[in-house]
């Protein structure tokens, strides 16, 4: 299979879906002439024109609300918000309207729209441009929240999101855009929304992660196998709502130990939900307490050395794994 970047996988999927369905259109700030801040929409304006690739004003609340209305009328908008930090300006349209319309209208109207947006830290973009708000949206019934970690998953899940009849928040970590992976050539494949994947099998311990942290988890798992002979299983959530609890629970039942890795803040986050799920559904199988590795609870610093200290690292994860395994092997 060809090896392409995460960015290329997204671009190819948008192009293929625009060709496949005339009701699909893109909208967002600088996605047309400028080809997007991260060049995910490169070449699409030239191919499909300004009615299908729409540059919007700097008015997130306005164009997200417009997308929800267009979706109610049968179109399939794919909205790019330049960074998840700017999604705060549109949160009312997302949470109070797009997420609730199908329910409040008794199923008479659907909102088949996708909101793509990058998030995450590590790029020295400072506190207001380096955040992880996925827990906010995963909390909301009526939304689907996807967090793919590989080019393969990004392509298959974006295609599923665009074809889905519910509003989908599609979160792309900034640090993943240049990562590479195998993707089928001309493969019209989809990945079902709500299915986690065991990215690496193991028997000693389970790491549960998502988005960029899955890449970190896989790297640590490989290193510890080579250096210490540890057999570590890595579960990639891929979808935060709906959440694939059986895959998490079955993995922990097999390994008897779990470490949860997330880039966002520790309190009230995705990791807390996963820990509760394991405690409720796999408590009798645990040989050690569930541990969590997350970002330090501060606004992310601009200074590189402080930013690095605030984000989860390979060493943080290794330390948590060793602590979990002490006295249990």
Instruction: Please identify every residue annotated as catalytic.
Output: 60, 129
Q: Which of 39, 25, 318 is nearest to 174 (CA)?
A: 39
d(CA 138, CA 101): 17
Tell me the Cα Rg of the chain.
20
Helix boundaries (H) for the chain? 6-20, 44-48, 60-72, 91-92, 101-104, 134-138, 151-163, 212-228, 245-255, 270-282, 304-310, 314-325
d(CA 306, CA 196): 33
Q: Sign of dihedral through CA atoms 329, 279, 261, 202? A: positive
d(CA 150, CA 4): 10
- Whether residue 137 contacts residue 131, with contact meaning beta carbons closer than 8 Å, is answered with no
Print burial letters for 276-291: b (CB count within 10 Å at least 16), e (below 16): ebbeebbeebbebebb
- Whether residue 237 contacts residue 264, with contact meaning beta carbons closer than 8 Å, is answered with no
Neighbours of 2 (CB within 10 A): 12
């Amino acid at each position: 299979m060809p090896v392409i970047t995460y960015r290329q996988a997204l671009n190819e999927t948008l192009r293929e879906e625009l060709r496949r369905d005339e009701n699909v259109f893109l909208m967002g700030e600088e996605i047309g002439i400028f080809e997007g801040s991260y060049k995910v929409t490169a070449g699409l304006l030239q191919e499909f024109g300004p009615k299908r690739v729409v540059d919007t004003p700097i008015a997130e609340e306005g164009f997200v609300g417009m997308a929800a209305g267009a979706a109610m009328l049968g179109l399939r908008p794919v909205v790019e918000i330049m960074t998840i930090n700017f999604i705060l300006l549109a949160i009312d349209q997302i949470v109070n309207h797009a997420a609730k319309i199908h329910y409040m209208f008794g199923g008479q109207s659907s909102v088949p729209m996708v909101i793509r947006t990058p998030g995450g830290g590590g790029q020295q973009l400072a506190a207001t441009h380096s955040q992880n708000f996925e827990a906010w949206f995963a909390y909301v019934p009526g939304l689907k929240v996807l967090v793919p970690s590989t080019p393969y998953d990004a392509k298959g899940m974006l295609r599923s999101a665009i074809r889905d009849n519910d509003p989908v928040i599609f979160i792309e970590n900034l640090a993943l855009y240049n990562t590479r992976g195998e993707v089928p050539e001309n493969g019209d494949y989809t990945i079902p929304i709500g299915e986690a994947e065991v990215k690496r099998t193991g028997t000693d311990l389970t790491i549960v992660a998502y988005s960029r942290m899955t890449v970190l988890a896989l790297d640590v798992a490989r290193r510890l196998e080579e250096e210490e002979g540890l057999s570590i299983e890595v579960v990639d959530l891929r979808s935060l709502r709906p959440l694939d609890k059986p895959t998490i629970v079955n993995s922990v039942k097999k390994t008897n130990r779990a470490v949860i890795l997330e880039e966002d803040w520790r309190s009230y986050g995705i990791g807390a939900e996963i820990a509760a799920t394991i405690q409720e559904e796999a408590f009798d199988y645990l040989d050690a307490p569930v541990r969590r590795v997350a970002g330090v609870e501060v606004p992310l610093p601009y200074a590189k050395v402080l930013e690095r200290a605030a984000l989860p690292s390979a060493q943080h994860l290794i330390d948590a794994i060793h602590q979990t395994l002490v006295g249990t092997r």
